[in-house]
A and B are shown apart, each in its own frame.
Chain A
Amino acid sequence: MLKEMLSLLEKNARIEVTDLAALLNTDEKTINDQIKECEEKNVIAGYHTIINWDNANTEIVKAMIAVSATPERDTGYDHIAEIIASYPEVDSLYLVSGKTEFILIINGSTMREIADFVAHRLAPIEGVNNTETMFILKEYKIMGAILNKENGRPERLLMTL
């Protein structure tokens, strides 16, 4: 049931506790307790809203940056990751396999701001060898949500057997 509850919350962070209880055939107290426990254990790490900024007439600039780094003797990549993650501009950070070590996603209000972040914050970090910045030109899908859907749902007949 926990997994089902988490999947429902992942799809819709605003789902009501009463609805969760009914869908999962349990009571509200159980749901509340589980959510609380998940929050405490950092299983639920946050609740976010997916915003299509283009439609909100707000300019934001996003970039994906590939970072190559040299691991440290005692902490491997974790220490470098901790430093990078502590910058609020960094939206997401992943250690990945492949040519580079990290992929991060960064938000800024202008290209200049992001360039400054790379030049003055990211590149100078000890252990960071190289960065490759890819500015995001258009967003099509974020966290499972397809943006700018042109067609609505295809219609079904009103009644069928």
Chain B
Amino acid sequence: MMIFDELINKQVKAMAPSGIRKFFDIASSKEGVISLGVGEPDFITPYHIREAAMHAIKNGKTFYTANLGLLELRQEICNYYLRRFDLNYSPTDECMVTVGGSEAIDIVLRALLNEGDEVILPTPSYVAYAPIVEMAKGKVIELTMKEESGFKLKREELQKAITDKTKAIVINFPSNPTGGIMEYDDYLELVDLIKENNILVISDEIYAELTYDKKHVSIANIPELKENTIIINGFSKAYSMTGYRIGYILAEKQLIRMFNKIHQYTIMCACTSSQFAAIAAAKNGDKDIEEMYTSFKQRRNYIVKELNRIGLKTHLPEGAFYVFPSIKSTNMTSNEFCEALLDKENLALVPGSAFGKDGEGYVRISYAYSLDEIKQAIERLERFLKSL
């Protein structure tokens, strides 16, 4: 019998499994569970987009594409970013198509980091950044974003986190899990710090289209910072295309060339039929975005009102499809809270601690559910809170 333990990479062995794994296993084993724990939209991909994927397959368009992705798709992505966010990138050398935003996060960090390089990570944050930084031999420097300041990245905090080893900062606005956003003036405060310290900004903008009542601002919209910024985005959240796995990177061409080196050896190219679907989405999907946006905004209004009514004080988040209320008044840890809630009421939420230690005392509630499901969940949550 082989002893695999000795054969596994130490870093991988030490890697903690994601904080929701345990809940997922319990929730999956129970009957009648309602979950507000999903991180993907609830719309079925618009038909014209699905049709484009089927058309590609029917017509045998199933070969590898260029490593960077189909040129037509890169053109549409660049048109889209210009049209919707006023940012100009060249489809030939400043844009590459990846397997979801996830691959983009991985190859960007691997291409940038040397052993011991520091990466600043404002938290609570999406769960994948820290393990990927560590796998790339980098060091995560957490920076706290506070509820009082709308979970924004503040200059004072950034200043404290910067050292001479700082290589990059990973930001994600609108944010999973907090729903927080950054506006132009918020970014303006950070310009000199980023410039003087020669820091790269990895800006994960996957929830850009879900910025409520305001236009999404990228940190790259600040002219001096465009060259410092590596934009990661994708089709999953804007068009409800999670299973297609199409993401992309927009950045300076010297950087794209380096990212593409890793991409060509590990991935070759993103799924071809999905790339054709993405062309249809970027070309003709603006109307789909509007419809989903309106529906998410309505559900956000609804859930925030209901959470406040049942006594869970919640701010109106300005982006994404999550609310991140504090449960500190219950004197429970977020893990205890979620475990008890699942046990007593069959309702699954994600404990805030899954998003870093700064998420402790909060829970992430997704409202990417039908109104009926949200109503039932609120009923259960209300009963649970009353029983405490």
Residues of B within 8 A of A154 (CB): 44
Give me 5 other A-B pairs in contact (C-beta within 8 A), A25-B301, A156-B42, A159-B24 excluded.
Answer: A4-B298, A23-B302, A158-B24, A158-B33, A158-B348
The reply on A22 being an interface residue by CB < 8 A is yes
Distance (whole angstroms) from the CB of A109 to the closest CB of chain B: 35
List the count of A-B residue pairs having beta carbons below 8 Å apart: 57
Q: Contacts of A22 on B, CB cut-off 8 Å?
A: 301-302, 305-306
Whether B326 is near chain A, meaning CB under 8 Å from some CB there, is: no
Chain B proximity of A25: nearest CB distance (Å): 4
Most buried by B among A153, A157, A161: A161
Q: Residue on B with the closest CB to A4?
A: B294
A residues near B, CB below 8 A?
4, 7-8, 19, 22-25, 153-154, 156-161
Q: Do B38 and A156 touch (CB < 8 A)?
A: yes
Compute how far the CA of A30 lies from the CA of B20 in the bound complex, rounded to whole angstroms: 41
CA distance A154 to B243 in the complex (A): 12
Contacts of A153 in B (CB 8 A): 44
Given that A4-B294, A19-B371 are known contacts, is A160 also in contact with B302, CB under 8 Å in the complex?
Answer: no
Tell me how far the C-beta of B339 lies from the nearest C-beta in chain A, rounded to whole angstroms.
13
Give the chain B neighbours of A158 by CB distance below 8 A.
24, 27-28, 33, 35, 37-38, 348
| Per-residue interface assignment for chain B, residues 251 to 295, with 1 indicating a CB less than 8 Å from any chain A CB and 0 otherwise | 000000000000000000000000000000000000000000010
- A3 vs chain B, min Cβ distance (A): 9
B177 to A, closest residue via Cβ:
A161
**Which residues of chain B come closer than 8 Å to A8, judged between CB atoms?**
298
Q: Does B188 sit within 8 A of A, measured CB to CB?
A: no
User: Given contacts A19-B371, A22-B305, are A161 and B298 in contact (CB under 8 A)?
Assistant: no
Bound together, the chains give a CA A22 to CA B305 distance in angstroms of 7
| Chain A proximity mask over B32-44: 1 for CB below 8 Å, otherwise 0 | 0101011110101
Whether the Cβ atoms of B44 and A159 lie closer than 8 Å is no
Q: Are B38 and A23 in contact (CB under 8 A)?
A: no
Contacts A19-B371, A24-B301 given; indicate if A159 touches B40 (C-beta within 8 A). Answer: no
Q: Is the CB of B28 within 8 A of A160?
A: no
Flag if B298 contacts A24 (CB, 8 Å): yes
Alpha-carbon distance A153/B37, docked complex (angstroms): 18
Closest chain-A Cβ to B224's Cβ sits at a distance in Å of 33
Cα-based distance from A8 to B299 in the complex (angstroms): 12
CA distance A144 to B40 in the complex (A): 24
Q: Which 3 residue pairs of A and B lie closest in terms of their CB atoms, listed nearest first?
A: A159-B37, A23-B298, A25-B301
Q: Does B128 contact A (CB under 8 A)?
A: yes
